[in-house]
Amino acid sequence: MSQDTLRIGALARLSGATPKALRLYEALGLIAEPRRQGSYRIYEQRHLDAVRLIRQAQAVGFKLQELRALTTSANRPAPGEPLAREVALQAVLAKRAALAAQQQRLQQQLDELAVCERLLLQAFDCPDVQPA
């Protein structure tokens, strides 16, 4: 085995993914099927790059099913080619918009919590209201 190829354990260590996750990514079509040497999967740098991208996408909120939808043949410029740049960028922009909306909702909740806190403090300072 050359220095440019990896078995599943080495790929797992370098990428931070578990061997089980790597097999799942392969089954979902998120990474290309590696060549085999007997019963061993033999991975290359392109697999490591793809796994790192998947893990980064998951870290910012993408679900595996969302990533899988992006890798369908309809979203590839040609069979066997990587994901179309425009499709990938559109997915990132959509995720950015969803996170911004979530951030806005969370800020609203924080504002409402501050009002609730103020009302509670006022209630406990009032001699007519006794805490339970």
Q: What are the pLDDT digits (tens) for 17-60?
A: 999 999 999 999 999 999 999 999 999 999 999 999 999 999 99
Domain shared by 13 and 57, yes or no: yes
Degrees to nearest 5, angle at CA 87 with 86 and 88: 90
Note the pLDDT of residue 76: 60
Q: What is the pLDDT of residue 13?
A: 97
pLDDT digits (tens, 9 = 90+) for 76-95: 666 555 567 788 889 999 99
- Residue 4: predicted pLDDT: 82
Both 19 and 43 in one domain: the answer is yes
Q: What are phi and psi of 35, to 5 degrees?
A: -70, 165
The CATH number of whichever domain residue 20 belongs to comes to: 1.10.1660.10
Do residue 65 and residue 88 come from a single domain? no
In a domain, 79, yes or no: no
> Domain of 27?
1-69
Residue 75 inside a domain? The answer is no
Domain count, the chain: 2
- What are the helix (H) ranges across the chain? 8-15, 19-27, 45-59, 64-70, 85-125
| Alpha-carbon span 93 to 112, nearest angstrom | 29
